[in-house]
Amino acid sequence: MSLISVLARAEAMATGRATPLATARHRHLSDRPLVFVPLTTAGEVGAPLGALVGTDRDEPRLLAVPQPRDRDLRFAFLAELAQVVLPYLESYADDTETEPATRNREKSEVCADAPQIVVANTSAVEYVRLLGRSTRFRRTAEDDPDEPHPVPARVPLLGRWLTHYGERARTPGSALLLSATELLTRHWATGQSNLEDQHLGALLAWVEPPEGMTGIEAARRAESHRGPDGLLVFPPAGPATDPVFDNTVLAPAAARYDAGITGAGEEIARLLAGQMRPTWDAVWRSMDLLRELPEGAHVADRWKRDRWSYTSHRDRVRAGEPPQPRRDDAVSAAQKLAGRETAQVRLEAQEALDDPLVMAGRRLAGEAFAGRVDRVEMAMSEGKVPKPRPLVTVLTQDRPHLDEDAKLYRALPDGRTQQARFVEWAGSGAVLLRVVNGMGRGKVPDPGTVPEEGDEVCWTLFEHAPRGGAGLPEPEDTPWTHGGPPGAAAATVTADTPTAPVAVTESPDLATTEDYL
Amino acid sequence: MDARALAALAANPGCRRRALMDAAGVDKAAVARVLGNPAPFGQSQFAFVRGHAFEARVKAEGCAELLRLLGAPESTEAVLPDLSAPGPEGRVARTRLALKEATAAGRWTLLDHPLLVLEVADSPVYLEPDAIAVRPDGSWTVVEVKSFPILDGSADAVKVGAAARQAAVYVLALERLGFGTPEHRVLLVCPKDFSNLPAAEFVDVRKQLSVTRRQLTRLTRIEEIAAALPEGTTFDLRLADDGRTATRPAAELSDAVDQLPAAYAPECLASCELSFHCREQARGCGAVEVLGRGVRGELGALTEVEQVLAAALGTEGDPDDPAVAALRRAHALRAEALGCR
């Protein structure tokens, strides 16, 4: 934790209320997000118990599995989930824009907007991945008539989409799949630890304590206040359930269901809805709070990358490509990792540029400095065609870690980035630097491109638009020592059978009779 | 105290409260309930049933599946000695005897739920691993059966870490037997993917072993902690005749508990029944640890939130102290950024 966020947490602890960590909203929020609140069965992997899902906050669709050990009921749940989620995901597929060609890319089509799924916490994000993993290799009766446990149509497709969303969520700054806890913790500091912030109810209690209560009291109540029935008034945000609920309420109801008592299924659905509804409301409330912050200037840029991600998966599905493999081959794994590293650096730079509070943290860390321009001295470079290289002295209270000839960057009003080089410390708190670009082509700098005396400027030691390292070689040029040429066998299957609707190259998972227990 | 408690204690060796209450066999969950801060966790019967069904499957048919996972040649049959005996001492003795015999026998032997003993801070702690396998060459492998899945060859790192720490405690207990050679890798058996089929991986626990060994020597001797307590301190709940209702006033119990200094950190919330009680106390004195263990590193000698804020505002603290100076700058920068909103 950086010192500035420790201080924010200490302030929150003293005031009894969360304190801001950002003055802008750093994540895109869709006008029509799909909220998904799943519950899972304790001890069973990927056996859903129920879910609230939908785009209308007043009318969530309730899905419930009265007996999670029954495979048919689980499949029915997934089929219903596919009925809600797939039309939503597909509703963005046909509204496209044309991207003009650039040096590296041909003219291409990108979806004008993309669907966004919002869940409660990071475990729910993992659960989306898990649901995707558990369903994308399933086979329908149409795929394989001999399949002993065929899933309803479209379930494998749901799995592929959930996998894509789960995978994309690992890219820093992406917003296709968001969790409410991450959204809130990015923008507010509470007076408790990171671990406790994972509890959505407690976190929200800090950000917005009810009248007459401090954050501590409200969070404490959200964590452990139980009603006369012994159940938590604010059930956990899932996917795991409260063990007390399992043992005292759900187990007897499930026994009634197993005994064939009429109405037991409906009773279970009602019980599950009661456990999920507070979380559903909390997720929507979190988004309300986030919407009160103005959107950061670079958020649209990152959302565009999400739109690209959505578009390319749409294309893969349309082209009939097989589902994502269980494990990435070496080349794709290296590419993903490199992409995420670049995204992380880009995110950090963009958030700092969009938000003075984030920049304050970078300034405290010595990675940027702000101050007033004290002197500007025109100078020219040596060489055949001398170029303007003005020398600027900036007075700052900050203490940047400046090495000899360090590169410096600042954002110009038109959005471009200007570079400079550190020359020397011209006295205490006075940085002398030489501006090296962004001044146009002429002998005289374009107007407004050189700081003037009295201007307030902020220079960073980090790049504003970091690029990844050198590109990786094409898969076919990758030596076998690095896992290439990879997936040769799989590639031929798709190439030979272009008409196959979905060429399943990986076998479905094994099942045992104990799935019924 | 069991292996899990021991592993948790080893993760926070400075906590005298936990050390003494665990060693004395106090039901911390019951104490927490009386104090009005019940433990935040429990086990769902669904998970319990599933876990047992899985272990039964692993050990079905003379542990055939387990032998395969251990790498025994096909159709090997293992000796499964009877380890039952009255009382823990008896079971420990049976286990010891069975291990001795099996090591000399030169064939596969599986000890199902053996009982081991480990001296912790001068008190015996009984430990019950899921199984210990003795190979024909006489080496011992600890087997730990868990119900979280190995999905596509990988499992939840947090859960694997906890299992490894727990298994390391068993290996340590085996080493202290004074004979035989326990392997420093344990077999972790988990369900494969979404099925109930067992899959297994050997987990190297050398690191956890040395950490546990070191932490256990750091554990303050229980006697020392007990000696520091006022005469007559007890954690007795004075249960009523129904054996469940505590009649001891919470304030009195709280006084007794507070005689024992605790070392609270947010990590305790995941493993200690008393954590809510300790957290409330830590919050009460404004300790910075409630914000996270790593926070202390940034703050130098400042241990209380009040001090941190006073230093940041410039009303207290030595400006030459680097932590104080950094806090002042942080406060000024934060105020400036929030002001221009």
pLDDT digits (tens, 9 = 90+) for B164-203: 989 999 999 999 888 888 889 999 999 888 888 889 999 9
Ramachandran angles phi, psi of A112, nearest 5°? -65, -30
In total, the C-beta contacts within 8 angstroms joining chain A to chain B are 158
Beta-carbon contacts of residue A4 (< 8 Å; ≥ 6 apart): A360, A361, A364, B330, B333, B334
In a domain, B302, yes or no: yes
**B51 and B161 housed in the same domain:** yes
Give the tokens for residue A265.
């299924």
Quote the CA–CA distance of A295 and A224 in Å, as a whole number. Answer: 35
Task: Report CA-CA distances (Å) from B27 to A221, B20, B22, B246.
Answer: 24, 12, 8, 12
Name the closest residue on chain A to residue B333, using Cα atoms: A360
Query: CB of A357 within 8 Å of any CB in chain B?
Result: yes
Q: Tell whether the model's pLDDT for residue A496 goes beyond 60.
A: no
Band the pLDDT of B261: cuts 50, 70, 90.
Answer: confident
Query: How long is chain A?
Result: 517
**Tokens 């727990």 -> residue:** B166
Mean pLDDT of B273-281: 89
Per-residue confidence (pLDDT) for residue A487, from 0 to 100 = 52
Query: CB of B285 within 8 Å of any CB in chain A?
Result: no
CB contact under 8 Å between A44 and B333, yes or no, is: no
CB contact under 8 Å between B46 and A8, yes or no, is: no
| Cβ neighbours of B169 (radius 10 Å) | 29
Judging contacts by C-beta atoms under 8 Å, the chain A residues touching residue B329 are 364
CB contact under 8 Å between B329 and A364, yes or no, is: yes
CB contact under 8 Å between B195 and A515, yes or no, is: yes
Alpha helices in A208-329 (DSSP H): 215-224, 243-245, 251-258, 264-291, 299-318
- Write the pLDDT tens digit of every residue in A151-190: 888 899 999 999 999 999 999 999 999 999 999 999 999 9
CB contact under 8 Å between A10 and B305, yes or no, is: yes
In a domain, B326, yes or no: yes
Per-residue confidence (pLDDT) for residue B33, from 0 to 100 = 85
Percent of chain A with pLDDT over 90: 57
CB contact under 8 Å between B51 and A247, yes or no, is: no
Give the tokens for residue A351.
């958030």
In a domain, B122, yes or no: yes
Query: CB of B300 within 8 Å of any CB in chain A?
Result: no
- Starting at the edge strand that comes first in sequence, how are the strands of the sheet with A34-40 ordered? A61-64, A48-54, A34-40, A117-119, A177-179
Band the pLDDT of A512: cuts 50, 70, 90.
Answer: low
Query: CB of B43 within 8 Å of any CB in chain A?
Result: yes
CATH no. for A357-460: 2.40.10.170
Task: Report CA-CA distances (Å) from A37 to A51, A53, A57.
Answer: 5, 6, 12
Per-residue confidence (pLDDT) for residue A500, from 0 to 100 = 37
Task: Give A387 or A148, the one with higher predicted confidence.
Answer: A387
Using the 3D structure, point to which of B162, B184, B218 is the last residue of a domain. Answer: B218
Query: CB of A259 within 8 Å of any CB in chain B?
Result: no
Number of domains in chain B: 2
Name the closest residue on chain A to residue B304, using Cα atoms: A10
Q: What's the alpha-carbon Rg for chain A, to the nearest Å?
A: 27
| Closest chain B C-alpha to A11 CA, distance in angstroms | 7
Check which CATH number belongs to the domain holding B188 and give it. 3.90.320
| Closest chain B C-alpha to A434 CA, distance in angstroms | 26
Per-residue confidence (pLDDT) for residue B19, from 0 to 100 = 82
Quote the CA–CA distance of B338 and B139 in Å, as a whole number. Answer: 65
In a domain, B203, yes or no: yes
Quote the CA–CA distance of A388 and A445 in Å, as a whole number. Answer: 7
In a domain, B117, yes or no: yes
* 3-class state of residue B141 by DSSP: strand
| Closest chain B C-alpha to A5 CA, distance in angstroms | 9
**Tokens 């599950």 -> residue:** A272
Ramachandran angles phi, psi of B181, nearest 5°? -130, 95
Judging contacts by C-beta atoms under 8 Å, the chain B residues touching residue A241 are 44
Name the residue facing B292 among A1, A45, A244 (closest C-beta): A1
CB contact under 8 Å between B51 and A43, yes or no, is: yes
Band the pLDDT of A483: cuts 50, 70, 90.
Answer: low
Band the pLDDT of A275: cuts 50, 70, 90.
Answer: very high
Quote the CA–CA distance of B71 and B210 in Å, as a whole number. Answer: 27
Using the 3D structure, point to which of B180, B196, B218 is the last residue of a domain. Answer: B218
**B197 and B302 housed in the same domain:** no
In a domain, B114, yes or no: yes
**B191 and B326 housed in the same domain:** no
CB contact under 8 Å between B151 and A10, yes or no, is: no
Longest CA–CA span in chain B (Å) reads 79
Mean pLDDT of A136-144: 83
Partners of A372 in the beta sheet?
Answer: A395, A456
Judging contacts by C-beta atoms under 8 Å, the chain B residues touching residue A9 are 291, 295
Domain ranges of chain A: 3-326, 357-460
Give the tokens for residue A454.
């009295």
Judging contacts by C-beta atoms under 8 Å, the chain A residues touching residue B44 are 42-43, 241, 243, 246-247
- Write the pLDDT tens digit of every residue in A60-81: 999 999 988 888 888 899 999 9
Per-residue confidence (pLDDT) for residue A504, from 0 to 100 = 43
Average pLDDT, chain B: 85
Judging contacts by C-beta atoms under 8 Å, the chain B residues touching residue A196 are 266, 269
Name the residue facing A1 among B57, B148, B295 (closest C-beta): B295
Give the tokens for residue A165.
């969303």
Per-residue confidence (pLDDT) for residue A491, from 0 to 100 = 44
Lowest mean pLDDT among A202-211, A221-230, A370-379, B2-11: B2-11
B contact test, residue of A514, A515, A516, A517 with most B CBs within 10 A: A514
CB contact under 8 Å between B50 and A43, yes or no, is: yes
CB contact under 8 Å between A193 and B291, yes or no, is: yes
Using the 3D structure, point to which of B218, B238, B257 is the last residue of a domain. Answer: B218
Report which of B191, B202, B204, B219 is spatially closest to residue B51, judged by C-alpha positions: B191
Report which of A238, A241, A239, A236 is spatially closest to residue A254, judged by C-alpha positions: A241
Straight-line distance from the first to the last Cα atom of chain B, in angstroms, rounded to the nearest whole number: 54
- Write the pLDDT tens digit of every residue in B283-310: 888 888 889 888 887 787 888 888 889 9
Per-residue confidence (pLDDT) for residue A493, from 0 to 100 = 40
Judging contacts by C-beta atoms under 8 Å, the chain B residues touching residue A510 are 192-193, 195, 197
Per-residue confidence (pLDDT) for residue B340, from 0 to 100 = 52
Residue window 26-55, chain A: list those with CB within 8 Å of chain B.
Answer: 41-46
CB contact under 8 Å between B336 and A356, yes or no, is: yes
Pairing of strands A61-64, A48-54: antiparallel
Report ipTM for this prediction: 0.86
Per-residue confidence (pLDDT) for residue B177, from 0 to 100 = 86
- Write the pLDDT tens digit of every residue in B18-44: 888 887 778 888 888 888 888 777 788
Alpha helices in A91-154 (DSSP H): 122-136
**B71 and B194 housed in the same domain:** yes
Q: Tell whether the model's pLDDT for residue A84 goes beyond 70.
A: yes
**B96 and B188 housed in the same domain:** yes
Quote the CA–CA distance of A75 and A83 in Å, as a whole number. Answer: 12
Query: CB of B193 within 8 Å of any CB in chain A?
Result: yes
Tell me which amino acid residue A301 is.
D
Q: Tell whether the model's pLDDT for residue A476 goes beyond 80.
A: no
Q: Tell whether the model's pLDDT for residue B118 goes beyond 50.
A: yes
Per-residue confidence (pLDDT) for residue B20, from 0 to 100 = 82
Domain containing B318 equals 295-341
A contact test, residue of B52, B192, B196, B309 with most A CBs within 10 A: B196
Quote the CA–CA distance of A306 and A112 in Å, as a whole number. Answer: 11
Judging contacts by C-beta atoms under 8 Å, the chain A residues touching residue B41 are 243
Query: CB of B315 within 8 Å of any CB in chain A?
Result: no
Q: Tell whether the model's pLDDT for residue A385 goes beyond 90.
A: no
**Tokens 């806090």 -> residue:** B327
Please report how the helices A3-15 and A356-364 are oriented relative to each other, as an axis angle in degrees rounded to 10. Answer: 120
Query: CB of A8 within 8 Å of any CB in chain B?
Result: yes
Mean pLDDT of B142-168: 89
In a domain, B240, yes or no: no
Alpha helices in A54-199 (DSSP H): 71-90, 122-136, 155-168, 180-187, 194-197
In this structure, are residues B195 and A512 in contact, taking their beta carbons and an 8 Å threshold? yes
- Write the pLDDT tens digit of every residue in B46-83: 888 888 888 988 888 888 888 888 888 888 888 888 88
Task: Give A50 or A329, the one with higher predicted confidence.
Answer: A50
Give the tokens for residue B333.
């920068």
